Amino acid sequence: MSRVEKPDPPAGRPLRFLAVGGLNTAAGLTVIYAARYGLGFGDVAANIIGYACGLAISFVLNARWTFRYRSRVLPALLRFLLAFLIAYGTNLLCLLLLLHVVGIPGVLAQAASIVPYTVVFYLLSRHFAFRQTQPGLAQDAGTLGVRT
């Protein structure tokens, strides 16, 4: 029996993307603090471990829930990581511009730089990382989901 997917309301994907972002941020910070203060890792190692966990959560939840991706995993993962790097580069560029050109305080610059990061990451995730290669068709093994 084939499962019929419901139409996605216009705000559905962006809202799910933001929810996933909140969840992976909370999980990543929890892992960072646990690694740093509970397990004795240094700040950089704890940060790398926490971001890796957050990115893994983000990839899985965004693929399955936000974008309902049903195609090959490895190409999507590589595109997702590239999308993250581009979004993070956008974040850093905005941060540096706000700090050194506009001259606003660091706390405000950090908060403001989240906006372009989120917009760029969402657009790249939707149109690049999780683009459907065969919409509406069941995929082979090695995918994130199988339609029943």
pLDDT, residue 148, reads 34
pLDDT, residue 132, reads 81
Q: Is 32 exposed, middle or buried (0-12, 13-18, 19+ CB in 10 A)?
A: buried
61 phi and psi, to 5 degrees? -70, -40
pLDDT, residue 3, reads 57
Whether the predicted pLDDT of 142 surpasses 50: no
Whether the predicted pLDDT of 52 surpasses 90: yes
How many C-beta atoms lie closer than 10 Å to residue 47's C-beta? 16
pTM across the whole model: 0.80
Question: Domains of the chain: which residue ranges?
Answer: 14-66, 71-133
DSSP string, 61-82: HIIIIIS---SBHHHHHHHHHH
pLDDT tens digits for 102-115?
Answer: 999 999 999 999 99
pLDDT tens digits for 32-43?
Answer: 999 999 999 999
Whether the predicted pLDDT of 54 surpasses 80: yes
Average pLDDT, the chain: 87
* Percent of the chain residues topping a pLDDT of 70: 84
Average pLDDT over residues 87-96: 94
Whether the predicted pLDDT of 27 surpasses 80: yes
